[in-house]
Amino acid sequence: MMKQTSYDVAVIGGGPGGYAAALYCARSGFSVIVLEQLSPGGQMATTGQVDNYPGFEEGIDGFELGEKMQKGAERFGAETAFVSVKSAELTGDIKKITTSKGEIEARAVILATGASPRELGLQREKELRGRGVAYCATCDGMRYRDKTVVVVGGGNSAAADALYLAKICKKVYLVHRRDSLRASKIYMDPLIDSGIEFVWNSRVTEIHGDKKVTGVTVASLDGPAKEISCEAVFVAVGRIPDTELFRGQVDLDGTGYIIADETTKTNLPGVFAVGDVRTKPLRQIVTAAADGAVASRFIEEYFA
């Protein structure tokens, strides 16, 4: 429940970027509210084991890490409201946000709504997420060291994921629906030399497994379907930034991400974008958290 209707800073989204921003802003003496629809952590909360966030030598459950980030920000006075944001008027000096539990105003707004991985839409995909179905090779790849994995996709993300996994996995299959990759040429020679097995003109139509992934069915345009035994499926067919709410107010790039550089500033005064929702070269928990700290620094400058 929101304790008041006016804040210095409103953070839309309770992932690592949002809570890092809330922590730093609260420590700077600003009144802060985090508006989160589901649970602290955002996409991170769906990750069973986070092994690449500094400070946790044995790794940590993504949901638990999200809760710790929430408690850290609230320790310094930040509030959390579990609400859905219906609309946001961001162009004025005072920003107005309408939520499922009422309207609030803020002098500055941090957009931390993230980006969701595009799914394959297969029957057991959601059920097996975190049990062999994954969407981030650098996040989850080490869990499958010396195992056989399948990567699905043909762009730069799929190519980068496949190359990363080829260094640690026993066998990597790269399944793509066309006869050549869409990835940049810079990936081609390393891919060819990596030992990755390409499965061209094909798509994954079924994921097998009860409590964990045991294999996939791959349908081919050139012949009969075949089964591939594997311990994991890494889906790399794009991401969907959660920015529709802000379209027409903040500038977006061609794929829907908020245009904001390393200052996290958007085209609107007093509006900042952090984490996966903004244009950036690397989307990881640690870079999202860094964005939150940066946003706080430039909010101080904006309020001065």
**Which pLDDT value is given to residue 116?**
87
Q: What pLDDT sits at residue 203? A: 95
The pLDDT of residue 188 is 86
pLDDT digits (tens, 9 = 90+) for 7-20: 999 999 999 999 99
Give me the pLDDT at residue 253, please.
96
Check residue 138 and give its pLDDT.
83
Q: Which two tokens stand for residue 116?
A: 């969701």
274: domain CATH number? Answer: 3.50.50.60
| Catalytic choice (8, 25, 51, 136) | 136
Q: Give the pLDDT of residue 112.
A: 98
Residue 86 in domain: yes
Residues 148 and 226 in one domain: yes
pLDDT of residue 50: 84
Per the CB < 8 A criterion, the answer to whether 256 and 241 are in contact is yes
Catalytic residue among 140, 161, 276, 291: 140
Residues of the chain below pLDDT 70? 1, 48
Return the bridge partners of 89, or none: 96
The 8 Å CB, 24+ separation contacts for 278-285 are 278/111, 279/253, 283/115, 283/239, 284/52, 284/138, 284/139, 285/16, 285/44, 285/50, 285/52, 285/53, 285/65, 285/139
Do 90 and 10 sit in the same domain of this protein? yes
Residue at 110 is within a domain = yes
1 within domain boundaries: no
Q: What's the pLDDT score for residue 247?
A: 94
In this structure, the answer to whether residues 60 and 141 fall within a common structural domain is no
Instruction: Report the pLDDT value the prediction gives residue 197, as an integer from 0 to 100.
Output: 96
Candidate list 8, 51, 139, 261, residue with the active-site label: 139
Residue 136 falls in the annotated catalytic set? yes
Q: Give the end of a domain, one of 235, 252, 283.
A: 235
Give every CB contact of residue 31 below 8 A, 6+ residues apart in sequence: 4, 7, 8, 9, 77
Residue 161 among the catalytic residues: no
CB 18 within 8 A of CB 275: yes
- Count the domains in the chain: 2
The CA–CA distances, whole Å, from 122 to 219, 221, 222, 228 equal 13, 18, 22, 16
Mark whether 139 is an active-site residue. yes
Q: Say if residue 150 is in the same domain as residue 226.
A: yes
pLDDT of 1: 60
Domain assignment of residue 107, given as a range: 6-116+239-303
Distance CA 286, CA 268 (A): 25
Predicted confidence at residue 69, as pLDDT, reads: 97
